[in-house]
Chain A
Amino acid sequence: MRKEILFKMKSTYRDDFCIEGYWFGSGEKTACIVGPMRGDEVQQQYICSQIVKALQERESSGEIADGKSILVIPSCNPFSMNVGRRFWAMDSTDINRMFPGYDQGETTQRIAAAVFKHIEGFKYGMQLASFYVPGEFVPHVRMLSTGYEDLETARLFGFPYITTRKPLPFDTTLLNYNWQIWNTSSFSIYAGLTDRIAPTTSGQTVDAVMRFLYNTQTLVSPRADELATLSPGFNSAYIDEDSLTAVVAHHAGVYVRRRFAGDFVAPGEVLAHIIHPYNGSVLEEVRSDTGGLIFFSHHRPMVFQNAMLYRIKANGK
């Protein structure tokens, strides 16, 4: 493993801002894994640390394929995580809305440009991403439908689901979008949670990344003991996000969940209760119109009226 400072910037009141890269193997820029860009992506931070650890072990046992290199950037934004802010603390801009960046522009544009300069040209790009609505997902790979999305390669993670969605104008500055435009097979990995660490889904995600690296021959010859522990993964199903059924809160109040991301539910089943915050009465029994898998579940304890509480993959869709 070789550690490299990819970007460094002086701060007047804090330590230097550094983005570090961890290189494994040498040769063709084959796989790049990018960690948190936002300060609350704690699960993503943990997963990156476990990926670096796993790759160190594999490099020691000679499993990095000859002529191939892997880069892991465990964090693009340590400053925000250290002060508990989601976005760049000075001006609340979002590094993941600044790609491909501009090296003569504003601070976060420069950070994005520096990151992109190092990660451009990789064959496969993986970003450990998060969603702006607070909640939990079934772990999956997500891609923007740009015409360059590589669905077949996405199956090599062995995640149960791969989702696609049409990009909005605002999405053209995302890393995923720009990686695709610049000929990298790009995957956003949603590891279930954002602001907390979930051992199960974080472990599944590390396994999926390792599986992908073996399946693309970036890693070779897993050890016998590893073969025994690394499951073959799923035959991934594709989901167009527009096909997911939204379950919306008709009332605001205290939100008590009964069913969670990953659960299968029957039509009409109660998913949650919304409780009056003063008198404890049940304002709403939140029910599913359709039977299927809970793909996303809102998880803050208080909800607004019209908040999206669940997204369900209907049976047969």
Chain B
Amino acid sequence: MIKTIVSTALPVAERLLIRKNVISNGKGKGRFCIVTGTHGDELEGQMVCYEMARLVQKHIDQLDGTVEIYPALNPLGIDTIQRGVPNFDLDMNRIFPGNEHGTMVEQTAFAIYKDLKGADMVLDIHSSNLYLRESPQVRINVLNEEELVPYAKHLGVDFVWVHDAATVLEATLAHSLNSTGTRCLVVEMGVGQRINHRMCCHLVKGIFNLMKEMGIWNGETDLTDMETGELLEPIFCKGDRVAFLNAECSGVFLTEMRSGKIVDKGQSIGQIVNPLTGEILSDVKSPIDGFLFTIRAYPIVYEGSLMARIFQYNAEETEIVKAVSAAEQ
């Protein structure tokens, strides 16, 4: 059943509509919500929503509870290829839980928050941005580690990253929900404005797997990688174990590197070049032995632009990292 949770008049003969698809079956009380499209330039979640809506309805007898699919929290942003909310220059994921008496965007955020509150799980799917390509990962605020990591491990992503608490992130949808008793996992994968079918299909399997663990799905689930057939355990990262590679100068970043690769200390990640003079301005090298899970997708860089993130793993984690890397390639 399609439900409209926000309907606000726009100036000329149109309404801003935020809709969800509510699919229920059986006697189960569990409620699993999939949300995406907060940032209008992130599209991986569109395929995940489509596949979930299709598969859940196709195998409705295996559902015991409710799945709610919200493909577009910022529909005007998606339609206009804008990350933020058009007309407001505002990142919607920095104004939660919103304000029912605030500006139109704050009211919208409040309506979304109120609608999601009380779910047994909210999965908030992001796909980086236009600039960076990410391995499939779940990001968890350290404050919610104990509560959320056990769930995240069932999603079949490559990487679970428990990051430090930052005050600025308190205005995200995930923080607003987690801090008020509704579990929310944030998935990051792929790159903005594109859809990676393989990543999306694998996440869909992971979602069914998690739903099964939560007693909402009765069907068989298969978390083996589509190409390698291997059952994957995610790499777990906590603390100060990620190296950030920022551009030391402006230029064009050329790389053939892909995310999900093991790199050696000193290995070239790419080069920053000057197209006018033909010079190599910077040879970008890995500062550590590690697992590269973020790589720049948009080639133009300014001094400081992020080009890569590399996880420094230890000897005990080698086998897991190798397995994840093999599955990604």
Contacts and interface: CB of A to CB of B under 8 A. Distances in A.
Interface of A: 9-13, 86-87, 90-92, 97, 104-110, 132-133, 168-170, 172-173, 246, 251-254, 277-278, 300, 302-308
Given A12-B251, A12-B252, A86-B89, A92 B84 contact: yes
Contacts, number: 101
Contact of B167 (A90, A109, A169, A300): A169
B10 A12 contact: no
B304 A105 contact: yes
Given A90-B302, A132-B88, A252-B8, 14 more contacts: A13-B300, A87-B89, A104-B244, A109-B304, A132-B90, A133-B103, A168-B171, A172-B167, A246-B101, A252-B9, A253-B9, A304-B10, A304-B11, A305-B8
B246 interface: yes
B131 interface: yes
Best-surrounded residue of A90, A92, A169, A307 (most CB of chain B within 10 A) = A169
A76 to B, nearest CB: 15
B94 interface: yes
B144 interface: no
B25 interface: no
A169 B168 contact: yes
* Contact residues of B: prevailing secondary structure: loop
Interface string B267-308: 000000011100000000000000000000000101111100
B143 interface: no
B226 interface: no
B170 interface: yes
26 contacts: A12-B276, A90-B302, A106-B306, A107-B302, A107-B303, A107-B304, A110-B303, A132-B88, A169-B170, A170-B95, A170-B168, A172-B167, A173-B168, A252-B11, A253-B9, A253-B11, A277-B11, A277-B13, A278-B12, A304-B10, A304-B11, A304-B104, A305-B8, A305-B9, A305-B104, A306-B104
A217 to B, nearest CB: 36
Nearest to B12: A277
Nearest to A306: B104
A231 B89 CA distance: 37
A314 B96 CA distance: 29
A170 B171 contact: yes
Contacts of B55: none
A307 B104 contact: yes
B104 A110 contact: no
Nearest to A301: B11
Residue of B104, B249, B275, B302 ringed by the most chain A CB atoms within 10 A: B302
B218 interface: no
B107 interface: yes
B103 A302 contact: no
B249 A10 contact: yes
Interface string B94-136: 1100000111100100000000000000000000010100000
Contacts of A12: 250-252, 274-276, 300
B83 interface: yes
Nearest to A283: B9
